[in-house]
Amino acid sequence: MPSEHRRTPRISVDLPARYRSEAISLDGRAGDISQDGMFFMSDFLDDANGEVNVELDLPDSDVPLRLAGEVRWVNDAPLHAGMGIRFVNVTMNERLRLANFVIHRTYRSL
C-alpha cells in the first residue's frame, strides 16, 4: 500500500459536524481533521461539484468553526461511509482557530 503524503498532519477526532451543499444538508461527525481538510462521516453522502460548507463544534468554543470546502472523494463502504473534504478560501481567523485546535490536540495526545 502506498504511503500517504500530506502537507499538514491529520489527527483523529470525533466532533459533531454539519455539511451543506446546494443539494443537501447533513448532520454527521468529523472523523479526522487537518489544517487542509477533514473526513465527514454520515449515513448519507453527497457527490457535490463546487463549494460546500461545513461547521465543526470545537470543544474549546461555543461558536462553531465554519469553513468552505470541496468534496474530493466519497467512500460509501459500510461502517466507514463519508466524504473527504478539502478546505478552500480559509480566512486567517478560521485558519488560526483550526491550527490552534490541531496543535493543542496533537500535543495533548503525546
Q: What is the pLDDT of residues 92-108, one digit of tens each?
A: 999 999 999 988 887 77
| 3 state DSSP class of 16 | strand
Each of the 110 residues of the chain gets a pLDDT tens digit; together they read 334 555 667 889 999 999 999 989 999 999 999 999 999 999 889 887 889 999 999 988 899 999 999 999 999 888 889 999 999 999 999 999 999 998 888 777 55
For residue 68, the cross-strand partners are 53, 88
Please state the domain extents for the chain: 11-108
What pLDDT score does 82 carry?
94
Q: Global pTM?
A: 0.86
Residue 41 CA to residue 81 CA, distance in Å, equals 6
Domain 11-108 has CATH 2.40.10.220: yes
